[in-house]
Amino acid sequence: EDQVTQSPEALRLQEGESSSLNCSYTVSGLRGLFWYRQDPGKGPEFLFTLYSAGEEKEKERLKATLTKKESFLHITAPKPEDSATYLCAVHRMNYGGSQGNLIFGKGTKLSVKP
């Protein structure tokens, strides 16, 4: 069964304290792995897409990497405004007619204290 597991569930950091969030996946043929940021009461905001092992993408203080079994979201010198829930999702190969849906993890709730 396709599965996406994110860890830790919650992470508290001091401003400037770098860390990493983990997304491990078990999926029948990965088409793409996506990272989203979600603020309370709002829809997910797209951050990155990764398509193949070894790929890396960066945006401001965030850097996403991908291996064959997991992805990491590295946060360098975080600021309080980085506080949010970070969601990981996978898009799998088109078996049995499924073409479109993303399979999401439960997310990591990040809190950055000043």
User: For residue 37, what are its two tokens?
Assistant: 């940021």
Looking at beta carbons only, is 2 or 15 nearer to other proteins? Answer: 2
- Closest separation in Å from C-beta 39 to other proteins: 10
- Closest separation in Å from C-beta 100 to other proteins: 4
The 51-70 contact track toward other proteins, x by CB under 8 A, reads --------------------
C-alpha 79/C-alpha 5 separation (Å) is 25
Contacts of other proteins in 21-40 (CB under 8 A): 31-32, 34, 36
**Residue whose pair of structure tokens reads 């398509």 in the numeric block:** 51
Looking at beta carbons only, is 18 or 94 nearer to other proteins? Answer: 94
DSSP one-letter string for 48-84? EEE-STT-EEEETTEEEEE-SSEEEEEE-S--GGG-E
The 71-100 contact track toward other proteins, x by CB under 8 A, reads ----------------x-x-x--x--xxxx
C-alpha 1/C-alpha 8 separation (Å) is 22
- Closest separation in Å from C-beta 72 to other proteins: 18
**Residue whose pair of structure tokens reads 């079994």 in the numeric block:** 69
